[in-house]
Amino acid sequence: METVIEASNLVKQFGSFRAVDTINFSVRPGEVFGFLGPNGAGKTTTMKMIQCASPRTSGSLSVFGLDPGTHSHEIKAMIGVVPQETNLDTEFSTIENLIVYSRYFGIPKEVAEERAEKLLDFVQLTEKRDVNIEKLSGGMKRRLILARALVNQPKLLILDEPTIGLDPQARHLIWEKLKLLRSLGNTIVLTTHYLEEAERLCDRLVIMNNGTILVEGSPAELVRDHVGSGIVEAEHSPEVVECLSHMGISYEVTGDIVQVVTDNPRLVAQELLRKCDAKQVLTRAATLEDVFLKLTGRGLKE
C-alpha cells in the first residue's frame, strides 16, 4: 500500500462554519506525520474524521484504502486513538480500564489480561495497576490512554496532543515509546503544540491555520525554506534598531528582542557587537517554532 491515509479536498463544516477547509494530505506507511497549528486550526476535527468519530462534509478520505463513512468498523479495528481530552472510565482501576476497553475489539479475556500487564509495564504504570484512575495524576492518565490505544495492536496510531501536561521525564518516556512503535513499522499521526516534539518525532508535518494547510514538509525542509539557517538576537534598543536599518539588515522586533534571520549568523553577530554596540547578542539555529510563528502570526488566536 502506498499510503495509509489519503485526504483529498477534505471539508468539515459545522453549520455555516468551515472547521476544515478543503485540505489535501497523504500519510505513508511507517512514518510519523504531524499536524501543527494554533488553537482552533482544525487539527482535532481532522483527527476525528480519520478515526471515524465524525463524518466529513465533502471531499474524499481513505484510511488503509477504506472509506471511514462506510467502513468504520474495519478501520477502528486497525487504529489506536489517544483523544485530546482524557476520557478514561472513572469507575474502574488502571488495569481494568485496559481490559474493559479490549472488549470493544472482541479480544479474549486471557489475551486482554496478558496484554494489559505488558502495556502497563510499557508506560511504567505497573505500580498503579489496581488504583482507581481518579487517583492517578494527569500525566499518568495520559500514559494510560496511550496504553489503552495499543490494546488492539493497531498499525496506525492517531494521537491528539499525546504529551499535553506531561513533565519532562514523562514526555521523554512517551517519545521513546513512540520511536519504538515507529521502528516496529507502525504509522503515527499526531498533533502537538510542542514544536520541539514535532521537530524530534515527525518525519513530515503540516502546519494548519483556519482550517487550511499552510505548508507541508519535513521539519528541516520547513525551517530551511521558510526561515533560513540562523537567527541572531539582540536587545531591542533605539541604537541597535537604527544601526541595523543603517546597514540595510532587515530585522523583526518581538517584545524586547530584535531578531535577524540570516544564513550568516556569525557575521551579523559581529556587526551587531562591533558596529551597533549591542550588549546582548545571541546566535541560534532557526527552529520549527520560528517557522510556526512566521506563518501563523504572533498574536493569540481566538
Ligand X SMILES: Nc1ncnc2c1ncn2[C@@H]1O[C@H](COP(=O)(O)OP(=O)(O)OP(=O)(O)O)[C@@H](O)[C@H]1O
- Residue numbers of the site for Mg ion (CB under 5 A)? 43-44, 84
Give whichever of 152 and 296 is closer to ligand X, judged by the CB atom. 296
CB 287 within 8 A of CB 195: yes
Measured N-to-C along each axis, helices 138-149 and 94-103 cross at an angle, to the nearest 10 degrees, of: 30
Residue 44 interacting with ligand X (CB under 6 A): yes
CB of 10 to ligand X, least distance (A): 13
Give whichever of 49 and 286 is closer to ligand X, judged by the CB atom. 49
Burial class (CB within 10 angstroms; exposed 0-12, middle 13-18, buried 19+) of 132: middle
CB of 48 to ligand X, least distance (A): 8
CB of 273 to ligand X, least distance (A): 40
Order of strands, sheet of 282-285, starting from the edge strand that comes earlier in the sequence: 252-254, 257-262, 230-235, 282-285
User: Which of 3, 19, 106, 32 is CA-nearest to residue 58?
Assistant: 19
CB 214 within 8 A of CB 207: yes
Residue 42 interacting with ligand X (CB under 6 A): yes
Burial class (CB within 10 angstroms; exposed 0-12, middle 13-18, buried 19+) of 26: middle
| Partner from ligand X, Mg ion, none binding residue 39, C-beta < 5-8 Å depending on class | ligand X
CB of 79 to Mg ion, least distance (A): 18
Give whichever of 19 and 158 is closer to ligand X, judged by the CB atom. 19
Give whichever of 42 and 265 is closer to Mg ion, judged by the CB atom. 42
Query: Contact residues for ligand X (CB under 6 A)?
Result: 14, 19, 37, 39-45, 84
